[in-house]
Amino acid sequence: MRTAAPAPQRALPYTRVMETGWYRDAPSGPGPVSQVLRTVFAVVLAFAALWLGFIASALLMLVTPAVLPGASFSPPGLSWTLERMPGDLAVSSPGPDHPFNEPIDILVMGADRRPDESALDVRTDSIALLRLDPATHHATILSIPRDLWVSINTVDGETYPQRINVSYTVGARAGGSIEAGAEQLARDIQVNFGVEVDHYIWLDMAGTRQLVDALGGVTVTIPESLAVPEWRYTEDDETNPQNVSFPPGEHHLFGYEAVAFSRYRGDSDLYRAQRQQLVLRALLADPFSPRVLLNPIGAWRAAASTVESDLSTPRLAGLAYLSRKSSANTELYSLGEDVGGSPTVMPMTTAEGAAVLDWDPANVAYWFEQARATR
């Protein structure tokens, strides 16, 4: 009986080694050492990924309030772990007293500019101080009457009495820019009232129409004292007048209506400042309305043609986020309001016969204190 020949084995390849001879390669496949190396590499890679995740989370916890004031990054569990890391490795979100969470004071100027007027020659029709508190999500708006009689203090050291709404124009003409005008007004506020501002926003009231329309309109609740009877309004005071009225109650105003409501002059400037406050508060509440999210380019173009500021675009976006979060907790104040029955501002006639407003320093200090009490 013939037996089958054994199957030939596959010849293993030969490898030459430095001319010293030949040896057969071992069969291919991972050995014990190779398996251990792969396991170690996988563990190191997983540890590195975990460590990088911790570093990224720590950085987000630290910088989020700087990018988006009033916001925080605190994932459950992970933030607890980061806060309890040993020694200098421990990381926690910035607290209320951290520089990222300090209140932000912004000088807001509204210029009622006519088509033939330069931005450097116009007077500020409305002046307000906006305070945003990232730690408490509390905001205040303090209106300053435009006819308030104050001391103008120029960059050249000259000092003389004038209405506060002239301050911006003095600086803008001397410095040749909106920024110079804002710096002049900020300096006069500091000298007269002892209050410093961090940034400024300059609004072209005529362009506010496009901004409000880009937001899809704004909603305001008009009290009895600020209701506007029917009157003939025209944007340039000459052509295309229309009858408009704004009775008490809630109104959704589009651009033309919002500007008409803000510019009504049938009563005192103090009431007009309060109407402008209502529109400003509504604007602050709607920076991320659905219409803006659907058409961000249109909203940006409207804002760019209306707003000038020393704030960068990312910073403005961050403050818009904070204003949105603070909209339900925004208080309105005015230097035109009495304090305990004592008037804060009083009519006065200058030696030249100009009708202006004198002011009580104690009452003015009281209103500034109220507007700055956000925590």
pLDDT at residue number 205: 76
What letter would DSSP give residue 183? H
CB contact set of 256 (below 8 Å; sequence gap of 6+): 209, 235
Query: Which phi and psi (to 5°) does residue 94 adopt?
Result: -55, 135
Distance separating alpha carbons of residues 229 and 218, to the nearest angstrom: 20
Give CA separation, 81 vs 46, 56, 78, 99, in Å: 18, 14, 5, 24
Contact 209, 259 (CB under 8 A): yes
pLDDT at residue number 84: 56
Sorted by where each begins, the domain ranges of the chain are: 32-99, 103-372
pTM: 0.73
pLDDT at residue number 181: 97
Give CA separation, 161 vs 96, 150, 157, 312, 356, in Å: 40, 6, 13, 34, 11
pLDDT along the chain (375 residues), means of 10: 54 48 51 72 72 60 64 58 57 71 92 79 90 92 94 95 96 96 98 96 82 85 93 76 92 91 85 86 66 55 76 83 83 93 96 95 97 91
Among candidate residues 308, 200, 299, 199, the one with its CA nearest the CA of residue 255: 299
Burial classification of residue 291, based on how many CB atoms lie within 10 Å of its CB (0-12 exposed, 13-18 middle, 19 or more buried) = middle
pLDDT at residue number 306: 76
Burial classification of residue 35, based on how many CB atoms lie within 10 Å of its CB (0-12 exposed, 13-18 middle, 19 or more buried) = exposed
Among candidate residues 333, 296, 303, the one with its CA nearest the CA of residue 130: 333
Q: Is 103-372 CATH 3.40.50.300? A: no
Q: Is the dihedral of CA 151, 368, 67, 204 positive or negative?
A: negative
Neighbours of 251 (CB within 10 A): 18
